[in-house]
């Protein structure tokens, strides 16, 4: 039966998405080294680490992920022991990361450590302020000095301990010959404490131990809030990491043994209980259940799992125990490969990222220069060393470019996480910038706008007795059109047909009530089919003694296709359909979706040429396609998206992979990318305006070190919170 020929790559995307990473992630080098960098926290850190690693012979690429505090290095032939000394030389602590032990433990520990230091600084601040009240109330001479010394006894160890997050990183930066963001903060803390100690030794009227401790307290609060907002804006890579299962139930010698995932090898048998998460990629060999793969693909409906089904690490076994034969585990699993792919995308450098890094790096020397000039200028004008040092400290703190360093990473992290939850896997970190510029969207038809899966049209017109015959004949064939007939009448009792036989490429026949019945191609049945311009495929049902009935089929639209086209047009974007299919079939799909501009019978070269011509005319083209004939067009477009069911070549050529079925994620991607670009520009504006206002205020002496700390923390938090608006 074929007029029946529909593409064989029309499998459900949810099914195809399970092993997607094994195919897509082949672009990632298998010998990547991942190092944990607990000390990185700003854009300048990214530049310093990557520059130091790239200077090492044998290193091909190095990309820092600021959110996850790790660096991925492509260095064939080198090990972690060869790279760690290069980072230690510039003051960065580094450790090789064990992918099997990835968890949020390190981040949680850092948060608890900051909270402990905040608590100590806050307790000391309250006590010092109580002592300061006595001084402000009129204590004089020996009494005033006593209170100052007691305040110093509380403040000095407090600043030394609570300020460790700043002092440690500043010292590491200085040893590496750098001026990081923590250097001016540390200098400000030291200056505020030193001037207070000097005043106390000289029996001065004023000491500022309360201001020094408060400065430390509010700086720590700013650092902790930054830590928390980063945790809230968890990246897609962190969400994938959270799906990893540390242990598995290994079947051996007739029993079960709990072993780490790292010990599993292909061929092992593992047991997964109902409610448990699949620990490794594998094939079901025993049991029947349903799995939830929504966190991997965005699919909301459970998928059937039975012997022969391929499952991916990270899926949830819902209803019954399963026995799997492991095909890949640990670093080789599809989940780990997906994680590596997303991390690489998040760490990629776009135009805005590079701009922020260059600005932050150039800004650090300016901070120290402005502080030094402020100190010299105020001392020359007033001959008051204490006042001059306070002004210099305020300048050091208020001009810290933390907000500028966070402007881009915070937005990229929030945007990639949002798109991942909508079923889009970003392979190239620069894709967000390019997606925001799209004004023309070109769709392929089969497998993209449609599922490549036939559906029986006007099935209600078929009488009940003929339905029963058609269902019985179709049940004896595995052809897509036969399966579409069975699916169209799920509750139809079958007719009793004897001697059913299938003739490959022709159809199915048998005997019903003593009459010959057949279902298949028109030419096989000797039927002259004059209507060659219909939009879909067809099969003929022939019953001896009756006129044959033609059964027409249409290609099923992908979920969300119509809504996606409507949204794209509402956003002012041009929508074009390019297909190699017959004109009637292409026209039918275009009419069902309301696409006015379409082209049929286009070969692969023609698709690439049309996309290229659109680009030459100034259009920013997004190509959405899944076939081998779309590969050249995907590569030629300004940006590209492929469904999870796409061929390997198409996925490699595309920037983004649609892991779920719903095509609505495409419109979401363009809208999110445009919003992300707007947020980045807003963050740059916030950072620039902050410095235009704050720096002159500090230099003019209107900001104390304490007010400077509050302003600096507020600017960083404002930038991060602005990025988090993308999550809505």
Cα(701)–Cα(721) distance, integer angstroms: 29
Task: Say how far apart CA 99 and CA 101 lie, in whole Å.
Answer: 5
For the chain, the first-to-last Cα distance in angstroms comes to 50
Q: How many CB atoms lie within 10 A of CB 112?
A: 10
Give CA–CA dist 84/277, Å, rounded: 35
Written as six digits, the tokens of 485 are: 């007939």
- Any residues with CB less than 8 A from the CB of 191 and at least 6 apart, and which? 389, 390, 392, 393, 396, 705
Residues forming beta bridges with residue 578, ordered by sequence position: 599
DSSP 725: G
Which of 556, 552, 536, 540 has its CA nearest to residue 508? 540
68, 73, 72, 80: which is closest to 110 by C-alpha? 68
Q: Which residues does 632 contact at the CB level (< 8 Å), separation at least 6?
A: 604, 605, 607, 608
Q: How far is CA 470 from CA 128, 477, 504, 548, 657, in A?
A: 90, 11, 17, 12, 39
Q: Is 182 a catalytic residue?
A: no
Residue 97: which residues within 8 A CB-CB, separation 6 or more? 34, 35, 36, 70
DSSP 198-267: HHHHTT-S---HHHHHHHHHHHHHHHHHHHHHHHHT--HHHHHHTT--SEEEEEETTEEEEEEGGG--TT
Catalytic, out of 210, 281, 428, 444: 444
Strands of the sheet with 281-286, listed across from one edge: 255-260, 247-252, 269-272, 322-328, 281-286, 310-311
By annotation, the residues acting in catalysis are: 444
């Amino acid at each position: 039966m074929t007029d029946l020929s529909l593409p064989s790559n029309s499998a459900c995307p949810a099914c195809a998405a399970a092993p997607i990473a094994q195919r897509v992630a082949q672009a990632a080098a298998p010998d990547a080294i991942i190092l944990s960098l607990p000390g990185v926290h700003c854009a300048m850190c990214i530049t310093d680490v990557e520059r130091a690693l790239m200077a090492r012979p044998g290193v091909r690429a190095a990309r820092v992920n600021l959110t996850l505090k790790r660096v991925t290095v492509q260095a064939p032939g080198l090990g972690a022991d060869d790279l760690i000394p290069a980072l230690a030389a510039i003051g960065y602590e580094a450790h090789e990361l064990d992918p099997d032990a990835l968890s949020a433990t390190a981040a949680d520990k850092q948060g608890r450590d900051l909270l402990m230091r905040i608590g100590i600084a806050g307790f000391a601040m309250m006590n010092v302020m109580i002592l300061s009240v006595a001084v402000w109330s009129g204590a004089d001479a020996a009494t005033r000095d006593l209170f100052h010394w007691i305040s110093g006894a509380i403040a000095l160890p407090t600043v030394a301990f609570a300020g460790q997050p700043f002092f440690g990183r500043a010292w590491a930066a200085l040893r590496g010959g750098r001026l990081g963001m923590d250097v001016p903060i540390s200098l400000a803390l030291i200056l505020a404490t030193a001037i207070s100690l000097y005043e106390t030794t000289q029996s001065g009227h004023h000491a500022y131990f309360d201001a020094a401790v408060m400065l430390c307290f509010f700086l720590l609060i700013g650092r902790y809030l930054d830590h928390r907002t980063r945790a809230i804006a968890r990246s897609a890579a962190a969400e994938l990491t959270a799906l990893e299962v540390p242990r598995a139930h290994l079947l051996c010698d007739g029993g079960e043994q709990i072993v780490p995932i790292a010990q599993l090898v292909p061929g092992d048998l593992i047991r997964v209980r109902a409610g448990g998460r699949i620990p490794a990629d594998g094939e079901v060999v025993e049991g029947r259940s349903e799995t939830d793969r929504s966190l991997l693909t965005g699919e909301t409906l459970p998928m059937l799992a039975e012997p022969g089904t391929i499952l991916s690490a990270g899926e949830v076994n819902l209803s019954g125990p399963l026995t799997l034969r492991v095909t890949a585990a640990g670093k080789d699993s599809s989940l780990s490969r997906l994680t590596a792919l997303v991390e690489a995308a998040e760490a990629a450098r776009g135009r805005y990222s590079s701009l922020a890094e260059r600005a932050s790096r150039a800004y650090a020397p300016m901070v120290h220069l402005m502080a030094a000039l402020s100190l010299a200028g105020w001392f020359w004008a007033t001959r008051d060393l204490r006042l001059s040092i306070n002004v210099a400290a305020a300048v050091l703190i208020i001009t810290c470019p933390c907000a500028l360093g966070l402007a881009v990473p915070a937005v990229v992290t929030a945007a990639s996480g949002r798109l991942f939850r909508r079923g889009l896997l970003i392979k190239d970190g620069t894709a967000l910038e390019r997606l925001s510029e799209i004004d023309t969207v070109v769709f392929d038809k089969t497998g993209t706008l449609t599922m490549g899966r036939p559906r029986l049209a006007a099935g209600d017109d078929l009488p009940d007795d003929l339905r029963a015959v058609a269902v019985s004949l179709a049940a004896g064939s595995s052809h897509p059109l036969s399966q579409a007939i069975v699916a169209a009448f799920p509750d139809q009792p079958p007719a009793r047909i004897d001697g059913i036989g299938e003739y490959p490429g022709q159809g199915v026949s048998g005997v019903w009530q003593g009459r010959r019945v057949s279902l298949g191609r028109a030419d096989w049945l000797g039927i002259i089919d004059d209507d060659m311009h219909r939009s879909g495929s067809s099969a003929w049902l022939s019953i001896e003694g009756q006129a044959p009935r033609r059964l027409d089929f249409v290609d099923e639209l992908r979920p969300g296709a119509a809504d996606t086209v409507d949204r794209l047009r509402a956003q002012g974007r041009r929508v074009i359909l390019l297909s190699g299919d017959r004109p009637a079939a292409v026209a039918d799909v275009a009419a069902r979706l309301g696409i006015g501009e379409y082209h049929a019978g286009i070969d692969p070269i023609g698709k690439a040429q049309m996309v290229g011509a659109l680009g030459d005319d100034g259009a920013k083209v997004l190509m959405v396609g899944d076939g081998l004939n779309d590969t050249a067009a995907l590569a030629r477009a300004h940006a590209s998206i492929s469904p999870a069911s796409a061929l390997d070549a198409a996925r490699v050529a595309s920037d983004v992979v649609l892991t779920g079925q719903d095509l609505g994620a495409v419109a979401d991607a363009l809208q999110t990318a445009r919003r992300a670009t707007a947020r980045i520009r807003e963050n740059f504006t916030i950072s620039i305006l902050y410095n235009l206002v704050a720096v002159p205020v500090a230099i003019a002496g209107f900001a104390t070190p304490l007010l400077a700390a509050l302003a600096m923390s507020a600017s960083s938090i404002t930038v991060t919170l602005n990025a988090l608006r993308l999550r809505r």
